[in-house]
Amino acid sequence: MNIIKTNDITYNYPDGTEALKNVNFKAEEGKIVALLGPNGAGKSTLFLHFNGILRPSSGSILIDDEEINYHKKDLMKVRQKVGIVFQNPDDQLFAPTVIEDVAFGPMNLGLPREEVEKRVDESLKRVGMEEYKKKAPHHLSGGQKKRVAIAGILAMKPKIMVLDEPTSGLDPKGASQILRLLYDLNKEGMTIIISTHDVDLVPLYAYTVYIISEGKIIKKGSPKEVFEDIKTIRDANLRLPRIAHLMEILQKEDRLPFDKPYPLTIGEARRKLKDHLED
Amino acid sequence: MFENTLDCYAHSNHLKSTNTYFKVLFAILTMLVSLISTSPVVPLIIAFFMSFLIIFKAKISWKFYLKFFLFPFSFGLLTFVFMAIFFGVGTHVLELGIFNLAVTADGFNLGFLVFARMLGGFTCLAFLALTTPMTELFSVLKLVKIPKIVLELAMLMYRYIFVFLDEAINMYHAQETRLGYSSLKKSLKSMGMLGSNLFIRTWLKGEQAYIAMESRCYDGSMRTMREPESIKSMGTHNLALLILFEVSLITGVYITANFKIF
């Protein structure tokens, strides 16, 4: 079942430039979907349509098979269901303390105080930030801020979590902690949509990959299918995962028998190399 | 980042975990006593006592405290000098010898009183600022029924001061790297650019923050989870201590009421 579905949405900026052109995006329930695209391709603009912040110039968006109708009450429901974690946590964390920030969403949902407290504790624990409850956001590191931002969304118990460049600006450890967390959340049934240009990580977690360039979806499929089309990838200012690129070079320059499809992850490459060496 | 700001000390001093109401009441009542005192003795005692607390109890670095103290101190001194010379009539205690200016006993006493009160009041506020994080003060403000809208604005401002401070520092470094502050003229120009850029940034950030808040179902009012703690959380021991201290100060005020240097 598709939990998010957009039908031919087009979005024009007030000055008339088309930011999105007939975008058809689907996210299957319980899967991780990656949206790959260069800077300025329209990733963030598309995301803001998922919870009704932006309204498409034409086309429609279905959440859980229900079309967003932009009435205030229904928008609240949509925003509870679709949580967006923004790229820059400083844009999102506005409260003077961590605990107040995480409580913001559930308080707005009008939940009773005990429930809010429970949810705040749970979600801070979930992201491993429970000791930082009373800290001010400016006393936290980038990775910690990101985790608090995620906790703020988790506390609203969304069905879908949308993350704009969740690993940008983080050190490798911070990035892998975030991905681990998303992976676990997904296992528990949450649908996760990630925008990124980190092509090395995409094959590791994504079930479906979309490539967006200049406001258009130019490719869609499993990581294998998408990265097979090397030309499209490169035309969109992206690249192959390093591993696949290595295999491509080994095949083309050194005439080693690694044919397409190139392995995309370290695990796949290891298997392929082992097979080759054992032959 | 921000290691040398008041905020950082407020979050890391040794009196941070002391009850917030205790600190707030202590600072404000002591300040009031310092203000009603008609002699400079009690305010000066207060200034010394508060400075002692700040440096030895809260363990704020004395270098930082001295620097912090220097501004109001020099301002106070200036006021003192001017008041001593230009205020009051009566017997001259010191002839300056130019323009017929002289220090009068009246003016000197008044100036010194103002100076002492100022130091007393300042040290009380410094104590509060250096030992109590803003985040704790917000809940006290809520308790005394400060209008919600003011409080919300204050909270947002507090948070974003640091975001913009960070940006401003980064921009400043970037300008410095390209020699933007190598002469006075360039400095002025760079400063102006930094200011205008920062203004545009605040605009954009405000927009972004609003979108992010809207995404979490913001509907125009910020509901905070924390009910302010009751003032009773202060404890009877602290309350007794506080009353005893203030009463002895007031007694001091009464005894020294007619104390005058000249």
- Residues B260 and B231: their CA atoms lie apart, in Å, by 39
Distance from CA of A105 to the nearest CA of B (A): 5
Note which residues in 61-100 of chain B have CB less than 8 A from chain A.
Answer: none
Q: Alpha helix locations (H) across A15-71?
A: 43-50
Q: Does A137 touch chain B (CB under 8 A)?
A: yes
Q: By three-state DSSP, how is residue B222 classified?
A: coil
Residues A136-194: pLDDT tens digits?
A: 888 898 889 999 999 999 999 999 999 999 988 888 888 888 889 999 999 999 999 99
Check whether B192 has a pLDDT greater than 90. yes
Nearest to A104 among B162, B211, B216 (CB): B216
| Cβ within 8 Å, pair B162-A138 | yes
Please report the pLDDT score of residue A46 as a whole number. Answer: 93
Q: What is the mean pLDDT of residues B239-248?
A: 87
Percent of chain B with pLDDT over 90: 25
Q: Which residues make beta-bridge pairs with A20?
A: A11
Nearest to B226 among A79, A83, A100 (CB): A100
Q: Does A153 touch chain B (CB under 8 A)?
A: yes
Contacts of B4 (CB under 8 A, 6+ apart): B64
Nearest to B225 among A80, A94, A117 (CB): A117
Residue A181's identity, in one-letter code, is L
**Residues of chain A neighbouring B7 (CB-CB closer than 8 A):** 136, 138
Check whether B260 has a pLDDT greater than 80. no
Check whether B124 has a pLDDT greater than 90. yes
Q: Does B16 touch chain A (CB under 8 A)?
A: no
Nearest to A96 among B158, B223, B225 (CB): B158
**Residues of chain B neighbouring A48 (CB-CB closer than 8 A):** 211
Check whether B151 has a pLDDT greater than 80. yes
In Å, what is the CA distance from B152 to each residue of A248, B24, B122, B222?
57, 20, 27, 7
Residues A77-98: pLDDT tens digits?
A: 999 999 999 998 988 898 888 9
Distance from CA of B59 to the nearest CA of A (A): 20
ipTM field: 0.82
Contacts of A198 (CB under 8 A, 6+ apart): A167
Residues B199-224: pLDDT tens digits?
A: 998 899 889 999 999 999 888 777 77
Please report the pLDDT score of residue B227 as a whole number. Answer: 61
Token pair belonging to B221: 């009012």
| Cβ within 8 Å, pair A91-B205 | yes
Check whether A121 has a pLDDT greater than 90. yes
Please report the pLDDT score of residue B3 as a whole number. Answer: 63
Q: Is the C-alpha dihedral spanning A151, A157, A163, A166 positive or negative? A: positive
Q: By three-state DSSP, how is residue A25 classified?
A: coil
Check whether A214 has a pLDDT greater than 70. yes
Out of A91-105, A134-148, B46-60, B80-94, which region has the weakest mean confidence (pLDDT)?
A: B80-94
Instruction: Tell me the CA end-to-end span of chain A in Å, nearest whole number.
Output: 43
**pTM (2 decimals)?**
0.82
Name the band, by pLDDT with cuts 50, 70 and 90, for residue A120.
very high
Q: What is the mean pLDDT of residues B247-253?
A: 86
Q: What is the mean pLDDT of residues B17-41?
A: 89
